[in-house]
């Protein structure tokens, strides 16, 4: 679907009509948003701007030259936008093309950032004089959403910490939960680094209006702060992981201790029973019932002496 945002009577209008591009000039159009575009829509935009759009494979490349590049008349930029799921996050690649002051965005799913920017554009279009301003506004809003994700992740880590403290028995499920949170933290960190690289590239460019750079400097500081928060979150998850592993080891050691103590308690009685099971003449073996009773008494006495010894040594 194609959505064209254009200036008309000192306001911004939007249209999904493909033929509108033939009627408007470069000065009239501010933003062309392509959401899961058809081949016809892509070709129409390419013909209008006289520049090719990047393929999805090219947009998803991780090389710096593919993430941001400039030609004499066109700027190409690609960035990953995180989409929060039930447990994890998935990435959606968004392509930005700036040509003749017009911003073209290419994506393949609905994104909250674009809906928010569309609302702002319709209510306060004076803040977005060119496509350059609009692109920076999209990145700024995306960074704010990343900050919200980090805040939500911090709450999940705090809840997991309380759960670990409250649980009487630590299960392996907690390790899986910690691992999932670590994966989410790394995804958010990579996403923020992607924004940092793009903003740094923009700061080096001489094509963007000068009034944008103060805002970019604030954004780059915000990104640095978010990276520090993700580092702290990852360190906290490592601490929780070590705590859970330590508690699991303690629980396993208690179980092993019980088996060890029981085995030691029954070693003397087992020794006595083994001796009296030998096919030789032994004391008390020929006196019938009293011989059997004496053997059992010796076994009980050996068991009791072992228990008293362990208690005296404070091993129980």
Share of the chain above pLDDT 70, in %: 88
User: What is the CA angle 204-207-213, rounded to 5?
Assistant: 55
* pLDDT of residue 62 exceeding 60: no
On whether both 145 and 25 belong to a single domain, the answer is yes
**Same domain membership, residue 303 and residue 217:** no
116's tokens: 């928010």
Same domain, 284 and 211: no
Domain extent at residue 300: 266-312
pLDDT at 276 over 80: no
Q: Are residues 168 and 298 in the same domain?
A: no
Candidates 86, 258, 91, 305; CA nearest to 191 is 91
Supply the DSSP string of 55-77, one letter for each residue. Answer: PHHHHT--SHHHHEEE-SSEEEE
pTM check: above 0.85: no
Q: Average pLDDT, stretch 180-198?
A: 88
Would you say residue 14 lies in a domain? yes
| Edge-to-edge order in the sheet of strand 29-35 | 11-15, 2-8, 29-35, 102-107, 89-99, 74-84, 68-70
| CATH number for the domain that contains residue 201 | 3.30.460.20
Residue 14: strand pairing partners: 5
Beta carbons of 107 and 116 less than 8 angstroms apart: no
One domain, residues 286 and 234:
no
User: How does pLDDT run across 112-167, given as a tens digit for each residue?
Assistant: 888 888 888 888 878 888 888 899 999 999 998 889 888 888 888 888 888 877 77
Contact status, residue 180 vs residue 86, Cβ threshold 8 Å: no
Is there a single domain that holds both residue 275 and residue 243?
no
């Amino acid at each position: 679907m194609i959505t064209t945002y254009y200036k008309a009577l000192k306001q911004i209008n939007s249209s999904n009509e493909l033929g509108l591009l033939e009627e408007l000039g470069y000065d009239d159009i501010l933003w062309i948003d392509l959401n899961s575009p058809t081949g016809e829509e892509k070709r129409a935009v390419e013909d209008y701007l006289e520049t090719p759009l990047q393929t999805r494979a090219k947009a998803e490349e991780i090389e710096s030259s593919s993430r941001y590049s400039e030609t004499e008349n066109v700027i190409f930029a690609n960035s990953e936008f995180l989409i929060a799921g039930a447990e994890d996050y998935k990435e959606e690649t968004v392509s930005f093309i700036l040509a003749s002051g017009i911003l073209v965005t290419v994506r393949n799913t609905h994104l909250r950032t674009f809906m928010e920017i569309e609302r702002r554009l319709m209510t306060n279009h004076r803040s977005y004089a060119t496509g350059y301003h609009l692109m920076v506004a999209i990145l700024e809003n995306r960074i704010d959403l990343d900050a919200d994700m980090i805040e939500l992740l911090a709450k999940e880590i705090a809840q997991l910490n309380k759960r670990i403290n409250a649980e009487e028995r630590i299960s392996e499920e907690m390790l899986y939960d910690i691992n999932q949170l670590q994966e989410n933290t790394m995804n958010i960190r990579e996403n923020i680094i992607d924004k940092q690289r793009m903003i740094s590239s923009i700061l080096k460019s001489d094509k963007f209006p000068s009034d944008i750079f103060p805002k970019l400097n604030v954004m780059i500081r915000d990104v640095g702060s978010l990276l520090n928060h993700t580092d702290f979150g990852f360190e906290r998850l490592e601490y929780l992981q070590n705590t859970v592993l330590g508690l699991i080891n303690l629980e396993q050691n208690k179980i092993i201790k019980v088996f060890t103590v029981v085995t030691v308690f029954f070693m003397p009685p087992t020794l006595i029973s083994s001796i009296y099971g030998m096919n030789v003449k032994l004391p008390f073996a020929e006196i019938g019932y009293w011989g059997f009773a004496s053997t059992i008494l010796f076994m009980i006495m050996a068991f009791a002496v072992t228990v008293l010894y362990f208690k005296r040594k404070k091993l129980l």
